[in-house]
Amino acid sequence: MGDVLAGIHATWELESDALVIRFERGIRTPRLFQALRERRVPHEALASVTLTPGRRGTVVLHAVPRPGADPLMEAAAGQLKENSDPYRLVLPAEREALAVHYRDGLRSLLPSQPGTAGVPGCDGYEEQEEHEGFVPNGTEDFAPVERFLVEPPPGPLSFKAYDGKASFDGASEVAFRWSSTGASSEKWKAGDQVFSVQDLCGVEWRSPDGLDGHLRLVPRSGGSREIQPDRDPASIVFGRYGPVHESLPFAAAVLGAIRAKDRVPVPAAAPTAAGGTAHRDPGAVAERIRHLSELHRAGLVTDAEFSAKKAELLAEL
């Protein structure tokens, strides 16, 4: 156990090899913090720590992660609002001296830092401005790390969005199941989607706080990302749903699984049938045909499309 510093909505504990951030639970605590609960950040994952004046008689400690060290911040890509940044600890101004002591103690444990990030000004604060999307001077000198140093949120995870429900088993598969009221005809024609993590190379998350909120899975095959998310079967659209506290940890968990797969050799593919095509489970094919028939009866698939797709599915048996 190390030094503990309690702030507003969170507590920092300084261990010999990591900063442990524990988030409070309560109606005033940002819901993202409640969803994260606790994060263990190795010292090597941090580029710097700063202290700046806050709002309404507060000071703010900000632990700045290195580029590529945290899957949550990688998925967020600078879109988090200031009060939802899990690396900020807000304290009453009367605790400034304790905050300075804690900042200096944490800095002494960080790896050697290039540049001059976080140089105190004449009043003890960093001579830099604290605002949304801000990156302290000097952190750009850190090359992105080769692997995530902070553990992603644990799975399994799921959330409801405007045009469907997303689920992730925590290791190998992501599934999108479309809503009967919100999904576009293109998504209904494509059917519910199941993605193998080893076939993905990234995740694109656009905050539901914006007008274009969505989560898109990026395939290794290099599929087009010019398709609008509402028509792309590899995307799920948030609308008024898919809030940050559910969709962002989900995106980070998937991204963490993708990077983990990247570091594990992919086993050789099993031999295919004589015709060169791997056989699918008959039950899964039958379920796809049943779903296709429902779309055909609903008028969302033409006779020609139904016949062609059914023949394609039967050929997989």
Residue 311 contacts by C-beta under 8 Å, 6 or more apart in sequence?
none
Q: How many CB atoms sit inside 10 A of residue 18's CB?
A: 20
Kindly indicate the confidence band of residue 266, based on its pLDDT and cuts at 50, 70 and 90.
very low
Q: What is the pTM for the complete model shown?
A: 0.76
| pLDDT tens, residue by residue, 218-237 | 999 876 667 899 999 999 99
Q: Burial level of 192, CB count in 10 A (0-12/13-18/19+)?
A: middle
Q: What's the rounded Cα separation, in Å, for the pair 61 and 88?
A: 6
pLDDT band at 2 (very low <50, low <70, confident <90, very high): low
Average pLDDT, the chain: 84
Angle at 236 between CA 221 and CA 158, to 5 degrees: 105
Cis peptide before 156 (omega within 30 of 0): yes
Determine the Cα–Cα distance for residues 11 and 5; give it in Å rounded to an integer.
6
Confidence of residue 262 (pLDDT cuts 50, 70, 90): confident
309 close to 316: Cβ distance less than 8 angstroms: no
135: closest CA among 115, 121, 107?
A: 115
Mean pLDDT of 25-49: 95
Q: Where are the alpha helices (DSSP H) in the chain?
A: 31-36, 71-76, 96-109, 185-190, 244-262, 282-297, 303-314
CA-CA distance, 76 to 245, in Å (whole number)?
A: 11
Percent of the chain with pLDDT over 70: 77
Q: What would the pLDDT profile of 158-212 be if each residue is shown by its tens digit? A: 999 999 999 999 999 999 999 998 999 999 999 999 999 999 999 999 999 988 9
Cross-strand bridge partners of residue 61: 51, 89
Tell me whether strands 38-42 and 3-6 are parallel, antiparallel or unpaired. Answer: unpaired
Q: Over the stretch 69-113, which tens digit does the pLDDT of each residue have? A: 999 999 999 999 999 999 999 999 999 999 999 999 999 999 865
Give, in order, the Cα–Cα distances in Å from 239 to each of 33, 109, 248: 22, 43, 15
> What's the pLDDT at 148?
95
Residue 41 pLDDT exceeds 50: yes
Higher pLDDT, 146 or 275: 146
DSSP helix/strand/coil, 88: strand
Alpha-carbon distance 230 to 4, whole Å?
Answer: 46
Contact yes or no for 110/63 (Cβ under 8 A): no
Confidence at residue 271, expressed as pLDDT on a 0 to 100 scale? 42
Angstrom distance (rounded) from CA 309 to CA 315 = 10
Q: Report in angstroms the alpha-carbon separations of 41 from 30, 81, 213.
A: 20, 20, 28
**What is the band of 128 on the pLDDT scale with cuts at 50, 70, 90?**
very low
